[in-house]
Amino acid sequence: MKKIIVATDSFKGSLSAQEASFIIACQARKIYPNAEVIELPISDGGEGLVEVVFNALGGEHKIVRTSDPLGREISAAYLKLPDGSALIEMAGAGGLTLLKPGECDPLRTTTFGVGLMILDAIEAGADPIYIGLGGSATVEGGTGAATALGMLFLDGQGDTIISGGGLAKIHSIDLSGLRELNYCGRFFFLTDVNNPLCGPNGAAEVFGPQKGATRDQVRQLDQGLQNLAGVIARQTGVDLQDTPGMGAAGGFALPFVAFMHAEIRSGIEFVLDLLRFDEHLAESDLVVTGEGRTDAQSAMGKAISALARRARAAGVRVAVISGSIGEGAEKMLTLGVDDLIQATPAGQPLEEALAHAAENLEDAAREYLEGLKLELSRQP
């Protein structure tokens, strides 16, 4: 074993991508002391994206006074990169983690605070601006953020709408403020989902319940998003409802794609390219990756599936060591994964597993790598 890449996503609720990668890499260095071990923590565009990119490229954290999903004043940071671009995690001002239990209400929550972060990046001259979509508390079609940039979403009486509960009332969109902003730079929205805006696989139906929506509210939000998309279609002549990825983060990218020529891109492909992952694969013998839970969803565009496909194309063995291995995880074996390992001991309660995530991962990594060394030693 001459070269090992350790490239894990975060273990949600317990370990950052950096922490998880470091734990596994330490075991790899102990068991294969002569091997080159490269740590490449990854993100699919959601949690931990800024940290992953900062560790890879450096840059400057810019702190902004903004507001949370319920309009309360907070401080949040985005990353100014050395090439003049900016990277924003929408969860920094629009995320579920900013709300207490009982506060989740997608009829009221807004992305206005995220828009203030974007506005700061625009005024600082950033181009392009990358926005990671993940962990959002909102289903309001990006109306709040777009309002911060000068777009006005108006009902029949001329009142402004910036939350999910009012989407069905939107009658027109005033773009005069956006024209005054006169930003000619580029926007790229990074996501790990391909869901359309509306319908059974849309933003409200699939992700609304995670954000506190009841069944009646899911229907209300879906109808509201359909109305918003219809208003945009009448003004632009383009229907964006079925655009893959438009359902990410409650339809956040919709007004930006419609009126600012933004693009939706795969978050993990962006990160892997930025990390020069394919170059690192050259002459590698093993890639070890992982996440909090690997199941059927992991095979549907998530970070480790994209990584596994690239490694398979390069003929490199891939091991997945995740907190838990759930139903459908075996689909990963068709994407290039050779070994699936659960770090959490069978029967360990969730609360205990989260508290002991680091030692569980360390034990699992050590056991796997020692077993692999024995296996390889027996080969002729």
Contact call for residues 289 and 308 (beta carbons, < 8 A): yes
Classify 213 as helix, strand or coil: coil
Task: Yes or no: say if 246 and 254 are a contact pair by the CB < 8 Å rule.
Answer: yes
Please say whether the beta carbons of 42 and 52 come within 8 A.
yes
According to DSSP, the residues that pair with 332 across neighbouring strands are: none
Q: Beta partners for 190?
A: 132, 265
Task: Write the CB contacts of 339 (distance below 8 Å, at least 6 apart in sequence).
Answer: 317, 318, 319, 320, 368, 372
Residues 6+ apart with CB under 8 A from 249: 90, 94, 111, 133, 134, 136, 138, 191, 203
Predicted TM-score (pTM) of this structure? 0.89
- Widest pairwise Cα distance in the chain: 79
Tokens in use for 139?
């289903």
Instruction: List the pLDDT tens digit at each of the 380 positions of the chain.
Output: 899 999 999 998 899 999 999 999 999 999 999 999 999 999 888 778 999 999 989 999 999 999 999 999 999 999 999 999 999 999 999 999 999 989 999 999 999 999 999 999 999 999 999 999 988 999 999 999 999 999 999 999 999 999 999 999 999 999 999 999 999 999 999 998 889 999 999 999 999 999 999 999 999 999 999 999 999 999 999 999 999 999 999 999 999 999 999 999 999 999 999 999 999 999 999 999 999 999 987 877 678 889 999 999 999 999 999 999 999 899 999 989 999 999 999 999 999 999 999 999 999 999 999 999 999 888 87
Q: What is the pLDDT of residue 208?
A: 95
Tell me the helix, strand and coil percentages in the chain, rounded to 5. Answer: 45, 20, 40
Q: What is the CA 329 to chain-centroid distance, rounded?
A: 20
Q: What is the DSSP string of 7-72?
A: ----BTTTB-HHHHHHHHHHHHHHHSTTSEEEE----SSSTTHHHHHHHHH--EEEEEEEE-TTS-
Q: Strands 86-89 and 129-132, how do they pair?
A: parallel
Cβ–Cβ under 8 Å, residues 147 and 176: no
C-beta of residue 1 within 8 angstroms of C-beta of residue 33 = no
The pLDDT of residue 227 is 98
CA-closest candidate to residue 195, choices 261, 264, 97, 260: 264
Q: How much is the CA Rg of the chain, to the nearest whole Å? A: 22
